[in-house]
Chain A
Amino acid sequence: MRRDNEFTDPTSGPTTNPQTAVVSRTGQLARESRESKVRPDPGAHGAAVTLEDVSITFGEHVAVRNVTLEMPACQVTALVGPSGCGKTSVLRAINRLHDHTGGTVRGTVRLGDVDVYGTDVQPEVLRSRIGMVFQRANPFPTMSIFDNVISGLRFNGVRNKRLLRQMGVAALHNAALWDIVKDRLNQPAHRLSGGQQQRLCIARALAVEPEVLLMDEPCSALDPVATAKIEDLIRHLSSEVTIALVTHNMFQAARVSDNVAVFLLGEDRVGELVEVGPTARVFDTPDDARTKAYVTGHVG
Chain B
Amino acid sequence: MSTIPNVQVGAAGTGPEIGLVEELQRRRALVRDSARRSIRRRRITGRAMQVICLIAVPIGVAPLVALVLATVSKGAGALSAGFLLHAPTPPGVPGGGISTAIVGSGEIVAIAIALAVPVGLFVALFLFERPGTIAAAIRFSADVLSGVPSIIIGIFTYAVFVERFHHFSNLAAGFALGVLMLPIMVRANEEAMRTVSVDLWEAGVSLGARRSRVARSVVLRGALPGVVSGNLLAVARGVGETAPLLFTVASPTFAMTLLIFNDATEPFPDAQRTAWGTALVLLVLVLILSVVARMVAWILNRKAR
B31 touching A23, Cβ below 8 Å:
no
A170 touching B34, Cβ below 8 Å:
no
Contact with B along A142-182 (1 / 0, CB 8 A): 00000000000100111010110011011001101010000
B35 touching A125, Cβ below 8 Å:
yes
A173 to B27, CA, bound (A): 15
Closest residue of chain A to B37 (Cβ to Cβ) is A157
A25 within 8 Å of B (CB atoms)? yes
- Within the complex, the shortest CB–CB distance from A35 to chain B, in Å, comes to 16
A166 to B27, CA, bound (A): 11
A255 within 8 Å of B (CB atoms)? no
Residues 30 to 69 of chain A near chain B (Cβ within 8 Å)? 40, 44-45
A163 touching B11, Cβ below 8 Å:
no
Instruction: Specify which of A25, A44, A124 is in contact with B20 (CB 8 Å cutoff).
Output: A25
A209 touching B31, Cβ below 8 Å:
yes
Q: Which residues of A contact B38 (CB under 8 A)?
A: 156-157
Closest residue of chain A to B27 (Cβ to Cβ) is A209
Main secondary structure of the interface of B (DSSP, over half): helix
Residues 209 to 231 of chain A near chain B (Cβ within 8 Å)? 209, 211
B3 touching A163, Cβ below 8 Å:
yes
Instruction: Specify which of A27, A124, A170 is in contact with B35 (CB 8 Å cutoff).
Output: A124
A128 to B35, CA, bound (A): 7
A129 touching B32, Cβ below 8 Å:
yes
- Within the complex, the shortest CB–CB distance from B294 to chain A, in Å, comes to 24
B21 touching A173, Cβ below 8 Å:
no
B31 touching A170, Cβ below 8 Å:
no
Q: Which residues of A contact B20 (CB under 8 A)?
A: 25-26, 29
Q: Which residues of A contact B12 (CB under 8 A)?
A: 23-25
A124 touching B24, Cβ below 8 Å:
no
A200 within 8 Å of B (CB atoms)? no
Q: Which residues of B contact A122 (CB under 8 A)?
A: 39
Q: Which residues of B contact A208 (CB under 8 A)?
A: 31
A119 to B4, CA, bound (A): 33
- Within the complex, the shortest CB–CB distance from A21 to chain B, in Å, comes to 12
Q: Looking at chain A, what size class is its interface with the partner chain?
A: 35 or more
A170 touching B21, Cβ below 8 Å:
no
A221 to B95, CA, bound (A): 73
Q: Which residues of A contact B3 (CB under 8 A)?
A: 160, 162-163, 166
Q: A157-B42, A174-B9 are known contacts. Are A45 and B1 too (CB-CB below 8 A)?
A: no
A128 touching B11, Cβ below 8 Å:
no
B31 touching A156, Cβ below 8 Å:
yes
B10 within 8 Å of A (CB atoms)? yes
Q: A156-B34, A158-B34, A208-B31 are known contacts. Are A26 and B25 too (CB-CB below 8 A)?
A: no
- Within the complex, the shortest CB–CB distance from A200 to chain B, in Å, comes to 15
Residues 1 to 58 of chain B near chain A (Cβ within 8 Å)? 1, 3-4, 6-15, 17, 20-21, 24-25, 27-28, 30-32, 34-39, 41-42
Main secondary structure of the interface of A (DSSP, over half): helix
B24 touching A170, Cβ below 8 Å:
no
A236 within 8 Å of B (CB atoms)? yes
Instruction: Specify which of A25, A125, A166 is in contact with B4 (CB 8 Å cutoff).
Output: A166
- Within the complex, the shortest CB–CB distance from B289 to chain A, in Å, comes to 33
B21 touching A45, Cβ below 8 Å:
yes
- Within the complex, the shortest CB–CB distance from B206 to chain A, in Å, comes to 23
A157 touching B34, Cβ below 8 Å:
yes
A290 to B27, CA, bound (A): 44
Closest residue of chain B to A162 (Cβ to Cβ) is B3
Residues 264 to 283 of chain B near chain A (Cβ within 8 Å)? none
Q: Which residues of B contact A125 (CB under 8 A)?
A: 32, 35-36, 39
A237 within 8 Å of B (CB atoms)? yes
A275 to B111, CA, bound (A): 70
A240 within 8 Å of B (CB atoms)? yes
Closest residue of chain B to A127 (Cβ to Cβ) is B35
Q: Which residues of A contact B9 (CB under 8 A)?
A: 26, 170, 173-174, 240
- Within the complex, the shortest CB–CB distance from A297 to chain B, in Å, comes to 30
| Most chain B beta carbons < 10 A, residue from A40, A129, A158 | A158
A170 touching B14, Cβ below 8 Å:
no
| Most chain B beta carbons < 10 A, residue from A40, A167, A209 | A209
A163 touching B1, Cβ below 8 Å:
yes
Contact with A along B46-85 (1 / 0, CB 8 A): 0000000000000000000000000000000000000000
Q: Which residues of A contact B7 (CB under 8 A)?
A: 170
Q: Which residues of A contact B37 (CB under 8 A)?
A: 157
- Within the complex, the shortest CB–CB distance from A134 to chain B, in Å, comes to 21
- A-B residue pairs in contact (CB < 8 Å), sample of 30: A23-B12, A26-B9, A40-B21, A45-B21, A45-B25, A122-B39, A124-B35, A125-B32, A125-B35, A156-B34, A157-B34, A157-B39, A160-B1, A160-B3, A162-B3, A163-B1, A163-B4, A166-B4, A167-B4, A170-B8, A170-B9, A173-B8, A173-B9, A174-B9, A178-B8, A208-B31, A209-B24, A209-B28, A209-B30, A209-B31
A interface residue numbers (CB < 8 A to B): 23-27, 29, 40, 44-45, 122, 124-125, 128-129, 153, 156-158, 160, 162-163, 166-167, 169-170, 173-174, 176, 178, 208-209, 211, 236-237, 240
* 9 cross-chain pairs, A with B, having the tightest CB-CB distances, nearest first: A157-B38, A173-B8, A174-B10, A156-B35, A24-B12, A128-B35, A209-B28, A209-B27, A157-B34
